[in-house]
A = this chain, B = another copy of it.
Amino acid sequence: MLQAALRSGAAHRRAVFEVFARHLPGGRRYGVVAGTGRVLDQLERFRFGDEELTYLREHHVVDDSTLAFLADYRFSGNVYGYREGDVYFPASPIMVVEGTFAEAVLLETVTLSILNHDCAIASAASRMTNAAGKRPIIEMGSRRTHEAAAVAAARAAYIAGFASTSNLMAGHLYGVPTAGTAAHAFTLLHDSERVAFEAQIATLGPETTLLVDTYDVAEAVRTAVALAGPKLGAVRIDSGDLAAAAQEVREQLDALGAFDTRILVTSDLDEYAIAALAAAPVDGYGVGTSLVTGSGVPTAALVYKLVARETAGGKLQPVAKRSVGKPSRGGRKEAYRLLDESGRLETELITTGGRVPEGGIPLLHELVRDGEVVGREPLDAARERHAATVAALPQEALHLGRGYAAIPTEFV
């Protein structure tokens, strides 16, 4: 495609691509923007090195003039986007890429890969943190997804309110707080549960979290408190009826005087299971599989579409395909959000032609100017924005059942 466009000359036309979702899959009521920072990281290092060029040449994937173009490739255009942690709705243009066709079309796959993955994870994570209320959630899903996706998932979950992750690489690369507990293998490794607990307490202190369901839960809790004393940090339950087990363990801990020992539960939790545990004496959750797989929605259905390009006469012209069932709206968009009197989100307003609606909060921010990243921000800014934005959503947005977008998208 690039090679044909270089040959026809159209590759050098100015072009505008937009990233948006035609719908929110899975009956979700809002989407969460995540991955923007990772797009900027990748865009900065998006080059074709000798190794890639040699592959393309030796396998005759592209011709010599295309190889020459790729060898010099460096994105020199502009990117605008919704801020990370913000929410989005159907048709929200969460990212806008302006450049020549050639330089912008090359970014399609990496941009969509990052945003489709990270937005899907953050959108699921947001439902889980809402369901958990003030109780913290540890992200524990690394083993259930691709080894690199795991790091990105931990980052996205943190934006959407997870307290920490067991993925140390996410701590290293992105500063996500890390946490972890022992596995059953640690208990099984030792000659007895008592010996295992003794080893863990000796190393990590009584404030550690002991896993109590390898053999008999009640006996493990007795042993745990006997060894660590009432200052035992937490126990983890990973099997059985978690609500009933938590109730029994809470009563046992209280009877043993361990009033401050917390109860952490894990075991295939998702937002529904978390919500169902609201009345149980649980102090925190560990979530794995359902987080890293987007809890039923593993990809965000975002597309990257050409919406305007230069004509032979040098003017920027809106373009749109007419494919059955998949229409796109031509023209470079701007996006604004209207709030009601109490400050709650009311309408997502998409405009073309430069009209600025009164009272509308602009949603597109400059991220890249002439190829230079200018819109980077700390991860905690995204996390705080997300919490504030979710707090301002209409109440029905937080219902876990399938539904429609929480606010309407209007086109002006």
Contacts and interface: CB of A to CB of B under 8 A. Distances in A.
Interface string A308-320: 0101100000011
Given A8-B195, A168-B61, A213 B147 contact: no
A292 B61 CA distance: 24
A314 to B, nearest CB: 13
Interface in A276-307: 289, 292-294, 298-299, 301, 304-306
B147 A214 contact: no
Nearest to A172: B55
A325 B267 CA distance: 11
A168 B117 contact: no
Contacts of A305: 184-185
Contacts of A63: 203
Given A4-B199, A299-B145, A184 B306 contact: yes
Interface residues on A, range: 35 or more
A142 B113 contact: yes
Given A56-B168, A309-B188, A200 B145 contact: no
B152 A189 contact: no
B299 A144 contact: yes
A105 B142 contact: no
Contacts of A1: 180, 182-183, 185-186, 200
A65 B304 CA distance: 50
Interface stretch (A9-17, A127-135, A360-368): A9-17
A325 B142 contact: no
Contacts of A354: none
A322 interface: yes
A399 interface: no
A125 B3 CA distance: 30
A117 B323 contact: no
Nearest to A63: B203
A306 B214 CA distance: 12
Contacts of A13: 189
Given A199-B7, A202-B4, A55 B240 contact: no
A111 B142 CA distance: 11
A110 B202 contact: no
A123 interface: no
Given A216-B322, A239-B325, A293-B299, 4 more contacts: A3-B204, A4-B186, A13-B189, A113-B144
Interface of A: 1, 3-5, 7-8, 10, 13, 15, 17, 42, 51-52, 55-56, 59, 61, 63, 101, 105, 108-110, 112-114, 116-117, 142-150, 152, 168, 171-172, 178, 180, 182-191, 195-196, 198-200, 202-204, 213-216, 238-240, 267, 289, 292-294, 298-299, 301, 304-306, 309, 311-312, 319-326
